[in-house]
Amino acid sequence: MDVLSDAVTAMRTGRPHSSRTRLRAPFGIRFRPLDGAGFHVVLRGSCWLLPAHGAPIMLGVGDVAFLPRELGHAIADSPKRPLTDARITYDDLSLGEERRPTKRAVGREEGPGAGTELLCGAYRLDQSRVHPLLTELPEVVHLPARVGRHPALRGAIELLGHELAADPRPGGDAALPALLDLLLLYILRAFYEEQPDHVTTGWGAALRDPVVGAALRAIHQDPARPWTVESLATQTGLSRAAFARRFTATVGFPPLAYLTWWRMTIAARLLGDTDLPLRAVAERTGYMSEFAFARAFKREFAIAPGRYRAHTAAARRAPTPPRAKTS
């Protein structure tokens, strides 16, 4: 898969939840912190998003607000409106088992004022497998509605809104999670596409850069291949030294450090989510022997892979993305 798809797949777990919510002023709804991410899309009217940190953000029709680290937030018709806790929350996302996506009101307020209608959703994310592409996002990703911009995102919103507006129909249990996952990818794609061209560091720049992007695609398409700096440089047409400098300056850490981290992230997912034997996990992550794999895994996690698998449900400790190095 490509880098963005891999990043989402690595951290998504469980089933997403969604609702179509109708509000009428005055309203002020507080959402508590969540072990995941959430979004709001304004279908009708307007509202204010009050993040845990930072200034209130006014949302109009068609605006998308994505909260990649759900630190708690509020939705209100005025930034000074007193807040009450949401009547229904996505508590299911704190549970480990797969759950059917639900259509239900997160909060419904019937005041005498103007009406607002929202698409709301939440994703359970495994914080132990968060890709740095996600961690560099701001607390709120605000995508204002603009005519002609991001037609795929607008199409996904329209389909999701239609699915949530209708009574349950055949295929809905499959359509809803698929649309929600598609929406998440389109939100992230839209955000990174809107990053200014003059920014040359970070993951937005990495995805645009033809050299760094080619190396990242090669790693993600075949993480088990015995990559070296030289072989990755060959994929880009640069010399070894020039490639290493450009990759490190853009992404923030050297190519082989990223390769190792990504392999260990894959290993953590396979150990936690599958029953594959250790030898198969080692082979899928580029290690010729269980011993070499176990040594690399323990270096990243400070725990042997067998013990990690045994204790995944209780405590999952994933490798921190490597820090930038100068050599």
If asked whether residues 77 and 208 sit together in one domain, one would say no
Query: Are residues 46 and 75 in contact, defined by beta-carbon separation less than 8 angstroms?
Result: no
Model confidence at 317, pLDDT cuts 50, 70, 90, reads: very low
Q: Say yes or no to pLDDT of 140 above 60.
A: yes
pLDDT at 321: 57
pTM strictly above 0.75? yes
What is the tens place of the pLDDT at every residue in 91-103? 444 433 344 444 4
Model confidence at 199, pLDDT cuts 50, 70, 90, reads: confident
The closest of 48, 45, 56, 43 to 113, measured between CA atoms, is 45
Q: Is residue 240 part of a domain?
A: yes
The CATH number of residue 107's host domain is: 2.60.120.280
If asked whether residues 168 and 215 sit together in one domain, one would say no
What mean pLDDT, rounded, does the chain reach?
87
Of 193, 214, 249, at which residue does a domain stop? 193
If asked whether residues 167 and 64 sit together in one domain, one would say yes
SS3 (DSSP) at 205: helix
pLDDT at 267: 94
Query: Are residues 133 and 7 in contact, defined by beta-carbon separation less than 8 angstroms?
Result: yes
Of 193, 223, 253, at which residue does a domain stop? 193
pLDDT at 134: 86
Q: Say yes or no to pLDDT of 28 above 60.
A: yes
- Name the domain count of the chain: 2
If asked whether residues 184 and 223 sit together in one domain, one would say no
Helices (H), 28-168: 132-135, 151-165
pLDDT at 170: 84
168/122: higher pLDDT: 122
What percentage of the chain carries pLDDT values higher than 70? 87
Q: Is residue 327 part of a domain?
A: no
The CATH number of residue 233's host domain is: 1.10.10.60
If asked whether residues 211 and 182 sit together in one domain, one would say no
Q: Is residue 315 part of a domain?
A: no
261/165: higher pLDDT: 261
Q: Is residue 47 part of a domain?
A: yes
If asked whether residues 241 and 175 sit together in one domain, one would say no
pLDDT at 164: 87
Range of the domain at 298: 203-310
If asked whether residues 156 and 174 sit together in one domain, one would say yes
